Amino acid sequence: MAEFALAARDQSARRGLLRLAHGAVETPAFMPVGTAATVKGLTPIELQEIGTQILLANTYHLWLRPGREVIVQAGGLHRFMGWPGPILMDSGGFQVFSLETRRSIDPAGVTFSSHIDGSQHRFTPANVIEFEEALGADVAMVLDVCVKLPAQQPELAAAVKLTTQWAQTALEARRRPQTALFAIVQGGLDHELREQSARELTALEFDGYAIGGLSVGESRDDMYRTARFCAALLPEDKPRYLMGVGTVADLMMAVDGGIDLFDCVYPTRCGRNGRAMTRSGELNIRNAEFRFDYAPLDADCGCSVCATFTRAYLSHLSRSGEMLGARLLSHHNVFLLNALLTQAREAVGAGRWSSFRDRTLAQVSAGHPELVEER
């Protein structure tokens, strides 16, 4: 079940509302990654308090641990992890890509050995959908083939062909109407293959469409250009999801290209590694310069971390390896992205997207010019 309606447009940027079984999501929206049924370091209550609307979970990791039976007997993934809002489940296609030495692909699916204990497992387009539906996902992603870039045209073409075949199989395998089904456009940086993939998948009438196979080795400029190209190929009345992006600049450029949903481990990974995200760049809070810095991380931030703690204290926690440091930085980082997209929605609705985009990108460029490439 998915209903999507656009509320406003400003150039290519869109503001919309995506209604799912466990609630509505205002778009554009960021999805923190809860790979193993948890967003690292943050509780469901904290995630709600900082504006999170929807989480991402991962089929590959939950398949291996704790397994389908444990979650189903708990009453489904929402009850198991204590999250009341929508959940999008990734198909495990990215792990098929990232764990390439542990898997083999054939026309019917993927056979892989667990990175935990070496046990053998089999993913097919049908049993992945069955697993996602059994766990009660609001959105189920179809199994796809992601190719590391740079790649040659024959490899990309084979991936597109298999991704389309698997999408058709997944669509035929769906049984649970409450679970929306999203297909994934592939094709690397080859625009002809991207167009072919989008044409074949949109003909199958999925509930939404993702742009996959980016942020896997290409330049940011290539990623932005390809994502914008793909977005223009997708239906106006369906949600568009760019997979695996999570910096301030990435989100601004993707919203500018007409994309609605995003996910990434970046904000919580930064938090665990002593990095604070701000709109004017990132801070390595472990650096000595912050030992006697009693300012907040970001004076303009509205999160409880910035209202309560100083850079000096957060530097102490992180340098000392205290788990609270990682939690507080992750809290701040996810809050930042949620707040950024709240303001993006307001800017689109008010017809001032261009000025908001340019001001935000100028701030990022001033602190981290390498994160902003040519539009």
- Where in the sequence numbering do the catalytic residues fall? 90, 263
Residue 233 has what DSSP assignment? T
C-alpha pair distances (Å), 278 with each of 17, 155, 172, 286, 324:
27, 39, 44, 16, 19
Tokens of 177: 């109407």
Of 20, 41, 29, residue with least CA distance to 328: 41
CA–CA dist 92, 95 (Å, integer): 5
C-alpha pair distances (Å), 50 with each of 119, 288, 291:
39, 29, 27
CB 78 within 8 A of CB 135: no
DSSP 8-65: EEETTEEEEEEEETTEEEEESEEEEB-TTSS-TT--HHHHHHTT---EEEEHHHHHHT
DSSP 147-165: -PSS--HHHHHHHHHHHHH
- The dihedral region occupied by 290, where left means phi > 0, alpha psi between -120 and 50, and beta the remainder, is alpha
Q: Which amino acid is present at 89?
A: M
Tokens of 78: 């929402």
> 10 Å Cβ neighbour count for 178?
13
Q: Is the dihedral of CA 38, 40, 46, 51 positive or negative?
A: negative
CA–CA dist 232, 169 (Å, integer): 26
